Amino acid sequence: MKISKKTILSFIIIFLALTIFSYTKAQNTIDSISNPEISNEEIIAENLEVKEPSLLPDNPFYFLKEWIRNIRMTFTSDETKKADLENKFSNERLVELKKMIENKSNPDVIKKATEKYQEAINKIKERVDKIKENTEEKKVNSFLEKFTNHQILHQRILEKLEGKVPEEVLEKIKETRERHIEKFSEVMQKLEKNKDKIVERIENIIEKNQTNNRIIERINQKMPDDVRTKINARIQKREKNK
């Protein structure tokens, strides 16, 4: 039986629609659940409010995942929500990268996935640059809180991955980690004009014990001098209280 092009196209459209619906429903379910406790040893996908990936970049059908991301972005109009979506996509890409490294995937494929993750981080900054000055403060604060919590966890994951990657990928991971901190700092300074608020956000991370002093110090190096001084004082206080 001969199948027309119109029928094939209809099947593709229906498939994509169902896939997008399922994906969105799953993501909304994750978003509605509070983050599980973050272990000092291992960060899981749920800590970043995403699913464990079943489709990785080395899968020939991975392009479907990219299509869905593009479609979701196309149908999102608010720039703050777009930035939030880019943040989510960066979470997904990092979890994918982590799983590929754990699966001991081909080093070249890992390198490419690392580059895609780095692009995802760059896109967050690009979206943030489009957020207007008069955007509702509540929306910006909501994004910043999620962004800060997630991206600090990114640093913890990247730090651990440095000890797991093949030798030929190590420099790429180190470079990506450095670029990540730069973009993190740029986003914070772009959206949070009040420098005391930046310090407060970093302090909250320290209080929750979400990271270690090595990561805080790396972030601190990218901050303005007055912010750096205050954060250093907070780190010293933390050390004394241990």
What mean pLDDT do residues 200-215 have? Answer: 76
What mean pLDDT do residues 83-89 have? Answer: 97
154 and 217 assigned to the same domain: no
187 and 202 assigned to the same domain: no
212 and 161 assigned to the same domain: no
Burial 171-193 (b: 16+ CB within 10 A, else e): ebbeebbeebbebbbebbeebbe
Domains identified in the chain, total number = 2
Q: Tell me the pLDDT tens digit for each residue of 5-20.
A: 555 555 556 655 555 5
Residue 138 lies in a domain: yes
Q: Tell me the pLDDT tens digit for each residue of 21-32.
A: 554 444 444 444
155 and 204 assigned to the same domain: no
Residue 220 lies in a domain: yes
What mean pLDDT do residues 147-166 have? Answer: 92
What mean pLDDT do residues 107-133 have? Answer: 95
| Predicted confidence (pLDDT) at residue 152 exceeds the cutoff of 60 | yes
Residue 118 lies in a domain: yes
More confident residue, 69 or 23: 69
Q: What is the pLDDT of residue 26?
A: 47
217 and 120 assigned to the same domain: no
68 and 83 assigned to the same domain: yes
Residue 163 lies in a domain: yes
176 and 75 assigned to the same domain: yes
What mean pLDDT do residues 131-143 have? Answer: 90
Domain span at residue 82? 43-191
